Amino acid sequence: MSSLFGFFKRVYTAFNPPAAPVSTESTPIRFGILGAANIAPPALIGPAKNHSEATVYAVAARDLGKAQAFAKKYGIEKTYGGLNAYEELLNDPNIDAVYNPLPNGLHFEWTMKALAAGKHVLLEKPSADTSEETKKMFEFAREKGLILLEAFHYRFHPAVHRTKQILESGEIGAIKSVEVSLAVPKGIVKSDDIRFNYQLGGGSLMDMGCYTLNCARFLTSSEPTSVISTSTIPLSSDPKVDVGTTATLAFPSDVTATIICNLALAPTLGFIPQKPKVWAKVVGENGELTLYQFVLPTLYHYIEVSTRSGRGGKGMNKRTEKVYSPRDIKDSDKEWKGEDWWTTYRYQLEAFIDKLKGRTPAAWVSAEDSIANLKAIEMVYKKAGLPLRPASEFKLPDA
């Protein structure tokens, strides 16, 4: 009963975080949002309300009415609307950092423009349509002395860190294989969604697959050397778009990783909706680990560890851990801030602000990591015989 109450309290508070008083000691970072995107409220607006050094100051949308309605709903002071709205937001001197939740195919252009305007950027995943664009963005950010972060929010949650800590402890032995799945039933992603639009950088590998590859690379601490096999489900109206992709990749030391992503799992027997499939499983020489629900661990997750025991290793020891706050991590060498109701996005914002303020964040996703993830996506698309998502035609005026 108490754990059921704990669940409801945690989930309720995650979606309704207490407002933090604005800091009087450290000037808050003022964000501007490019596009009234669906992901902006959970990924930035809610978390910022709970961060004393973050304020969402402005939103720009292609339609002024949409920008105004969004601003009113979320208590945002400044709106920009119309054809030049995004440019106008970038030229606003009151803005320190830009959140870019535009469709993938527009990430490169608007991140480059934001950096050119001297803004730090919190950039939605995947960074861009290609690894080359990703490299250019991070090089430009470095040149300008600005912070650019690909929003792989799950990487900031303590459950993910505990998972990595267990793997690094050697408890399950050397990693032999990994399976990472992120798949949702048909009907959740609507047919006109940006995820099904090739020109905008759509496809399941870009959308959910980018997490699965990121997670496989993170857990193995290595990069894929080749793609062994792929199988894709094409979108009937545009076969360049993968509704689902499964791929097995080779990693150094004979490690393999299978990734499964799907934007529309077909109903069983044609009418029974499938459950979402969200997990990371690791098989080691001495046991196995499953991190169930690695993308939104605040709602619910568990880490199940099974290790061989007894004579000849025939028995199995099994235990389960739940790590909702950094305090649940035993022997942590870091000082982490966080509460059990902090979402992955709240942890991510903490890290982003820490970085902007010159503090050391508890976790980070490096430029090299983001570039390597796009390279892995490209390797899978190439092996599957699908074209890479179209590179942007945008060039900085003096580039």
Ligand X SMILES: NC(=O)C1=CN([C@@H]2O[C@H](COP(=O)(O)OP(=O)(O)OC[C@H]3O[C@@H](n4cnc5c(N)ncnc54)[C@H](OP(=O)(O)O)[C@@H]3O)[C@@H](O)[C@H]2O)C=CC1
Ligand Y SMILES: O=C1OC[C@@H](O)[C@H](O)[C@H]1O
Q: Which of 78, 113, 119, 125 is catalytic?
A: 125
Contact between 259 and ligand Y per CB under 6 A: no
Contact between 208 and ligand Y per CB under 6 A: yes
Contact between 125 and ligand X per CB under 6 A: yes
| Known catalytic membership, residue 322 | no
Interface characters, 278-297, with ligand Y (x: CB under 6 A): -----------------x--
Residue of 93, 75, 69, 84 whose CA lies nearest to 34: 84
Contact between 88 and ligand X per CB under 6 A: no
Contact between 205 and ligand Y per CB under 6 A: no
Contact between 242 and ligand X per CB under 6 A: no
Q: What is the total count of residues that contact ligand Y (CB under 6 A)?
A: 4
102 binds, among ligand X, ligand Y, none (CB under 5 to 8 A by kind): ligand X
272 forms beta bridges with 268
Q: At what angle do helices 367-384 and 131-144 cross, to 10 degrees?
A: 170
* Rounded Cα gap, residues 399 and 393, in angstroms: 13
Q: Which is nearer to ligand X, 66 or 240 (CB)?
A: 66
* Rounded Cα gap, residues 69 and 85, in angstroms: 15
Quick one: DSSP state of residue 359?
Answer: -
How many helices (H) and strands (E) are present in the chain, helices listed first? Answer: 12, 14
Choose, by CB under 6 A, the member of 53, 179, 207, 340 that binds ligand Y: 207
> Using CB under 6 A, which residues numbered 13 to 42 contact ligand X?
35-39
For 55, list phi and psi in degrees, rounded to 5: -135, 135
Looking only at the bridges linking them, the beta strands covering 315-321 and 302-309 are antiparallel
Contact between 62 and ligand X per CB under 6 A: yes
Choose, by CB under 6 A, the member of 14, 61, 362, 365 that binds ligand X: 61
Q: Residue 209 corresponds to which amino acid?
A: G
38 binds, among ligand X, ligand Y, none (CB under 5 to 8 A by kind): ligand X
* Rounded Cα gap, residues 259 and 210, in angstroms: 10
For 336, list phi and psi in degrees, rounded to 5: -110, 140
Are the C-beta atoms of 128 and 104 separated by less than 8 Å? yes
Cβ 127 to ligand Y, closest distance in Å? 13
Point out which residues bind ligand Y (CB under 6 A).
Answer: 184, 207-208, 295
Catalytic residues: 125
Point out which residues bind ligand X (CB under 6 A).
Answer: 35-39, 43, 61-62, 66, 101-104, 106, 124-125, 151, 153, 194, 200, 207
